[in-house]
Each structure stands twice: as C-alpha cells, then as structure tokens.
C-alpha cells in the first residue's frame, strides 16, 4: 500500500492502472477511520481491481465556529486499517495541494444544499461538492462509495454527478452502528461517558418512528412530535432539526405516501450528531 501526498504522483500511478485496464474504486474520507468507513472500503475492494482511499480534512466544508481544528486525525492508525483491508493507495494531500493560492472555483448543487443540515451549516455542502469534484478529477475512479449515514450528502453527490455528466457510478452503503445502535462517527470521540449513553436516543427515536409508521401513523407531524418528546427525555440533548422529507428533493412531506427520509441533527452536550432512516408505508 502506498501513501501518496502529491496530486501529480497519484495521477501518474492512476494512468498506469488505467492502461492495465483495471477498474478503480474510490472512498473519500476525512480519516479517523472506523467500522463505517471500513464497510465502504470492503465494498470497494470487492467490486474493483484497484482501491483508493482519500484522507483529507477539508477546510472548506467547516464553518468558522465548527470543529475543523479539533477534528480527530490519526494517519498511523488509518494506514494500519487500510493496509489490513487491502487498500492500494491512500491519497493524503495537504491543504496547499488541494487549495493552492489563488483558488477561486466552487461547485454548488442548488436547493438541495440549503435544506436540512444546509440550513444550519451554510457553505458546508458547497465545500463537500467542491472537494469531491476535485478528488473525482484527480482519482478518476469508475465507482465511488458514500455512506447512508450522510444521506443528504449522498443525494447531493448523486445529483451533481448526473447534472455535470461525471462518468462515475455512486454507491451508497447502509449505516454502520455500534452495538447499542449509535451510528458510528469520527465525532463520537467527543462524547463523555454520560453523553455517549444519552446519544443512543437518536437511534431509539428512529426506531419509534418506524414503529409508528408500521402501526399506520403516516402523518409526519404526529411522528415528529412523538420523537421530539422522546429525545427531550435526555438532559444532554438539544434538537437542531428533525424533518421527514422527500427522498429526491429533500422538501418536507406532510404524509408518508410511499417513502420518506427521516433525518435529524441533535446536539448531545456540545457534540452535533446526525442520523437518519427511510420510513416506508407498509401499505404502499
Ligand atoms: P467522513 O470521514 O465522516 O467524511 O465519512 C466518509 C464516508 O464514510 C462518508 O461517505 C460517510 O457517509 C461514510 N460513513 C461515515 N460514518 C458511517 C457509518 N456509520 N456508516 C456508513 N457510512 C459511514
């Protein structure tokens, strides 16, 4: 396994891989890898001849008051895990490689980027779509892997690839959870022991919503009201948003006709956690 820091070095290697007619699978990450990331990597390994994982904590997707500085970084451990999974290359650029002086160009997916998390993190998805476009242009993969954990991100990337005729197939991998149901996230390390216990309330609220839908309660207002009550039983929890939206345009729906995306962002202490599930009308 190679760790490559320079864009030109990676381009030369990718050229060779392409000449050998090998397919390339790509997993973009910000590092601090956990089982969730590894699931994406394992799927990429299964489906491709050559696997590239990028590790880059992308400054343009963090707001000025967000955790860019304290975001966990651990290349040694990440490299150990990637080697174990049979990754061929870790692309590990520094900020100057990705954003040299004079950088001016951004990619923005309108509308979708301003809803859900976008309402509270202005500029976040513009940062994501810009860096993913750059990484796609550098790595030139056949397939790229994203997690359902960041459902809005996956929907936006799919839209972008379609709109800009980017010849890459996007694969979305189910959410990997801890034993108690908490969705794995690099940010879970911020939680103290009490908060870690309380954090499971996000998963429990998704389960409650699923149960309600199964029982025939399809009015989203009713579902949201109930799960807000449940989350408020934890003292450390502060809801940023809970929405049930259309899976394509991400706009709120009033009733689950067929399917709806239940998405939420909840602060547990000072840590912002996100989670989501797809609600399906059993009678549709
Ligand atoms: P990140 O390093 O947080 O930018 O995540 C890199 C990729 O891993 C994204 O596509 C995430 O959606 C995905 N990912 C993160 N956590 C999980 C998880 N618990 N289950 C599945 N995919 C995940």
This prediction has a pTM of: 0.98
* CA separation for the pair 84, 143 (Å, rounded): 21
Atom index in ligand 1 nearest the CA of residue 150 equals 12
Residue 228's contacts (CB-CB under 8 Å, 6 or more residues apart) are 239, 242
Q: pLDDT for 258-267, tens place per residue? A: 999 999 999 9
Atom index in ligand 1 nearest the CA of residue 28 equals 6
pLDDT at 245: 98
Instruction: Report the top-level CATH class of 2-173.
Output: alpha beta
**Angle, vertex CA 78, rays to CA 72 and CA 79, nearest 5:** 145
Q: pLDDT for 11-55, tens place per residue? A: 999 999 999 999 999 999 999 999 999 999 999 999 999 999 999
pLDDT at 37: 98
List phi, psi (to 5°) of 63: -75, 165
Q: What confidence category does residue 110 fall into, taking pLDDT thresholds of 50, 70 and 90?
A: very high
Average of per-residue pLDDT values in the chain: 98
SS (H, E, C) the chain: CEEECCHHHHHHHHHHHHHCCCCEEEEEECCCCCHHHHHHHHHHHHHCCEEEEEECCCHHHCCCCCCCCCCCCCHHHHHHHHHHCCCCEEECCCHHHHCCCCCCCCCCCCCHHHCCHHHHCCCHHHHHHHHHHHHHHHHCCCEEEEEHHHHHHHHHHHHHHHHCCCCCEEEEECCCECCCCCECCHHHHHCCHHHHHHCCHHHHHHHHHHHHHHCCCCEHHHHHHHHHHHHCCCCCEEEEEEEEECCCCCCECCECCCEEEEEEEEEECCEEEEEEEEEECCCC
> Residue 144: how many CB atoms within 10 A of its CB?
24
* CA separation for the pair 38, 81 (Å, rounded): 8
Residue 159's contacts (CB-CB under 8 Å, 6 or more residues apart) are 109, 112
Q: Residues 182, 199: contact at Cβ < 8 Å?
A: yes
| CA atoms within 13 A of residue 102's CA, in its CB half-sphere | 0
CATH number of 186-280: 3.30.1300.10
Q: pLDDT for 240-274, tens place per residue? A: 999 999 999 999 999 999 999 999 999 999 999 99
Numbered ranges of CATH 3.30.1300.10 in the chain: 186-280
* CA separation for the pair 262, 272 (Å, rounded): 17
Residue 141: C-alpha distances to residues 13, 17, 43, 54, 110 (Å): 13, 11, 14, 12, 25
Average pLDDT of span 61-73: 97
pLDDT at 27: 99
Residue nearest to atom 11 of ligand 1 (CA): 147
Using a 6 Å CB cutoff, which residues line ligand 1? 29-30, 36-37, 39-40, 146-147, 149-150, 173, 175-176, 183-186
pLDDT at 126: 98
* CA separation for the pair 48, 21 (Å, rounded): 11
Percent of the chain exceeding pLDDT 70 equals 100
Residue nearest to atom 12 of ligand 1 (CA): 147
Average pLDDT of span 187-195: 98
Residue nearest to atom 6 of ligand 1 (CA): 29
Active site residue 124: no
Numbered ranges of CATH 3.40.50.620 in the chain: 2-173
């Amino acid at each position: 396994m190679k760790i490559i820091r320079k864009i030109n070095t990676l381009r030369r290697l990718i050229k060779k891989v392409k000449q050998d007619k090998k397919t390339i699978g790509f997993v973009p990450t910000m590092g601090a890898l956990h089982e969730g990331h590894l699931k994406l990597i394992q799927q990429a390994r299964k489906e491709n001849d050559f696997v590239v994982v990028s590790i880059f904590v992308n400054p343009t997707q963090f707001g000025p008051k967000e955790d860019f500085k304290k975001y966990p970084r651990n290349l040694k451990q990440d490299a150990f895990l990637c080697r174990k999974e049979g990754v061929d290359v870790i692309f590990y650029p520094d900020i100057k490689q990705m954003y040299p002086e004079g950088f001016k160009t951004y990619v923005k997916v309108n509308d979708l980027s301003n809803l859900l998390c976008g309402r509270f993190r202005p500029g976040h998805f513009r940062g994501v779509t810009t860096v993913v476009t750059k990484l796609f242009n550098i790595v030139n993969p056949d397939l790229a892997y994203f997690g359902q954990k960041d459902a809005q991100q996956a929907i936006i990337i799919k839209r972008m690839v379609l709109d800009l005729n980017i010849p890459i197939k996007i694969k979305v991998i189910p959410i990997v959870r801890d034993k108690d149901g908490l969705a794995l996230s690099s940010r879970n390390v911020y939680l103290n022991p009490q908060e870690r216990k309380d954090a499971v309330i996000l998963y429990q609220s998704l389960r409650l919503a699923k149960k309600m839908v199964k029982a025939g309660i399809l009015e989203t207002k009713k579902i949201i009201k109930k799960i807000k009550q449940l989350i408020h039983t934890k003292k450390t929890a502060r809801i940023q948003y809970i929405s049930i939206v259309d899976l394509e345009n991400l706009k709120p729906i009033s009733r689950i006709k067929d399917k709806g995306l239940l998405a939420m962002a909840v602060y547990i202490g000072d840590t912002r956690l996100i989670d989501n599930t797809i609600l399906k009308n059993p009678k549709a």
